[in-house]
A = this chain, B = another copy of it.
Amino acid sequence: MDITVAIDCMGGDHGPHVTVPSAIDYLRHDPEANIILVGIPDVIEAELRAAKAELSPRLRLHSANEVVGMDESPALALRWKKNSSMRVSLNLVKTGEAQACISAGNTGALLAISRFVLKTIPGVDRPALAVILPTIAGHTYVLDLGANVDCTAEHLFQFGIMGASLVSSVEDKPSPSVGLLNVGEEEIKGNEVVKQAAELLRQSGLNFYGNVEGNDIYKGTTDVVVCDGFVGNITLKTSEGLAQMLATYLREEFKRNWLTRLAGVVAMPVINSFKHRVDHRRYNGASLLGLRGIVIKSHGSADNYAFGFAIKRAADEVRGGMLRRISERVSELSHHSQTSAQAVTR
């Protein structure tokens, strides 16, 4: 299936130095993909020359002369930078010239501008950021990861619908299981919002597994894990911190003396293969769900390899008909949910 994605080439810690070579690499592996490089022409052309690549019908350039800074206020970026590479990329999705857009830029600005430019799908109150995480069994999708810090039960319910739609569009799973992140001790059954969300999910047509606990994420108990953005952001960052700590400890242990260094040399292939398995770059690319267009947020520090996974994610969502699936499910379930919401709050 022929697709076109727009890349905000200026975003991220490394800008075009990563985004342009990564786009060139991607086209080699996906012969039916087309890419529009969006950003400052001179800079992009310099990167193309450095990579010994040329523009072509499959690799076009779209000029955008402003750049949203990584620490810039999202509100100001939204208001004043109407010709930023980020906004122009989103406009290309809006006009249909591209079916998806990828940015490694300022997360807050991307959330604000994409919502303004693309608008939400009818029935979706708030877009949510979904990431994919490795599990013992395979992988799982978790949302929201920081787009919404205060959520109602209805929002969590919508996240469930969107997460399930995402999974059924990019994986061969017609009815993905959805878990609601909660505290597990029997005596503590979660806060009020989560309890109501569970009720809404239970009454929906979704394949609702029920409450899941923190350890269920990496166990891979369900295909989708739903939580608010506050819990999601903290959970994800805690995981990053723990992984870094364990990596530091392991490195220190192997560096303790000449014997352990020798053991390190012998164990190197195993450690490398372990590292590859947990390499967070392979999970790069968070999906911004609930908008009338496909938007992928790459990690700001992504390198070529990592950015390629974000492009692939965008392509997979386009080919899987993610937007159509979300719209259908939301309209199918939203009447139902309104009725249930009334029943729950009554």
Contact = CB atoms under 8 A, between A and B. Distances in A.
A183 B253 contact: no
A215 interface: yes
A321 interface: no
A188 B230 CA distance: 9
A236 B214 contact: yes
Interface stretch (A2-10, A33-41, A238-246): A238-246
Q: How large, as a class, is the contact surface on chain A?
A: 35 or more
A274 B245 contact: no
Contact of A241 (B219, B245, B253, B278): B219
Contacts of A338: none
Contacts of A234: 181-183, 213-214, 227, 231, 234-235
Interface stretch (A260-268, A282-290, A327-335): A260-268
A267 B182 CA distance: 38
Interface in A172-211: 181-188, 190-192, 194
Interface centre among A218, A227, A236, A262 (most CB of B within 10 A): A218
Interface of A: 71, 73-74, 107-109, 111-112, 134-136, 146, 149-150, 181-188, 190-192, 194, 213-219, 227, 229-231, 233-246, 248-250, 253-254, 256, 259-260, 262-264, 266-267, 269-271, 273-274, 277-278
Given A112-B187, A231-B234, 12 more contacts: A107-B187, A108-B185, A109-B187, A183-B230, A188-B233, A213-B234, A214-B239, A218-B238, A235-B235, A254-B270, A256-B273, A263-B267
25 contacts: A107-B185, A107-B187, A108-B188, A136-B244, A136-B248, A150-B192, A182-B234, A184-B237, A188-B233, A213-B233, A213-B237, A214-B237, A214-B238, A218-B242, A219-B245, A231-B234, A235-B235, A239-B242, A243-B246, A249-B274, A249-B278, A253-B277, A256-B273, A263-B270, A266-B267
